Amino acid sequence: MPIPRARGIITTLDTETVVFGYFTWNQVFALVELYKSTMKSNENWWSFYRGREVIKVAALSRLFVFGIAQFSGLLTSDYDSSFDNLIPNQANFSFIQNIIKNIVKVYTRWDSFYYLGIAQKGYTYEQEYAFSPMLPLIINFFANTVLYPLHKILGEQLLYMVSGILVANLFFVASAIALYRLGLVLFKNEKFAYLSTVVYCVSPANIFLSAM
């Protein structure tokens, strides 16, 4: 399946053009320069500071959120029942497919449907242009490369859902690392940078950062 292309998202390179949904080019360039300064000033952050510990905290927080999400899903009924419309022929699902369906169901809500559709088919409806192309592109890439051996087991729809959730959680860990390093640069205080990252990881609202 070809990777969907983002058409009409950016037409000019005006520095005030809004890109990636939220930022102007000027802001993007400023973020790139800030990241470069972070790389230069913390070349030994991994070994000298608590880089490994930050990754462990971020990963463990995802497992904790996963447990809470699954437990909550068992105790409560669905407010948004549109998930079932995404997967036809559920009656023919295998045992493994039913297990995976119940796992990903908690994380596939609201805007996830748009990202999933763009990842599979590209931009087909006008309202989909409100969603940036990067996440669907990465979901598509993982589904057609790393996770493709699971295609026969899961089917296309579940495969893309698993890909989206995996990508979201990997990028959450990456964002925790970025926040920690940014704290080191801005505040010159390792303890404050570390505690800020921990609070970010355990925030109750960050279940949204694990969803597609």
**Residue-wise DSSP of 177-201:** HHHHHHHHHHH--HHHHHHHHHHHH
Angle at the Cα of 201 (from 36 to 54), degrees rounded to 5?
Answer: 55
pLDDT of residue 165: 94
pLDDT of residue 146: 93
Q: Where are the domains of the chain?
A: 18-209
| Mean pLDDT (whole number) for 183-188 | 86
Q: Which range is least confidently modeled, 1-5, 26-30, 102-106, 144-148? A: 1-5
DSSP string spanning 140-168?
HHHHHTTTGGGHHHH-HHHHHHHHHHHHH
User: How is residue 121 written in tokens?
Assistant: 């088919």
pLDDT for 154 beyond 60 = yes
pLDDT of residue 119: 93
pLDDT for 37 beyond 70 = no
Q: How confident is the model at residue 47 (pLDDT cuts 50, 70, 90)?
A: low
pLDDT of residue 19: 45
What percent of the chain has pLDDT above 70?
Answer: 75
pLDDT of residue 93: 86
| Mean pLDDT (whole number) for 67-84 | 77
pLDDT of residue 6: 36
pLDDT of residue 161: 93
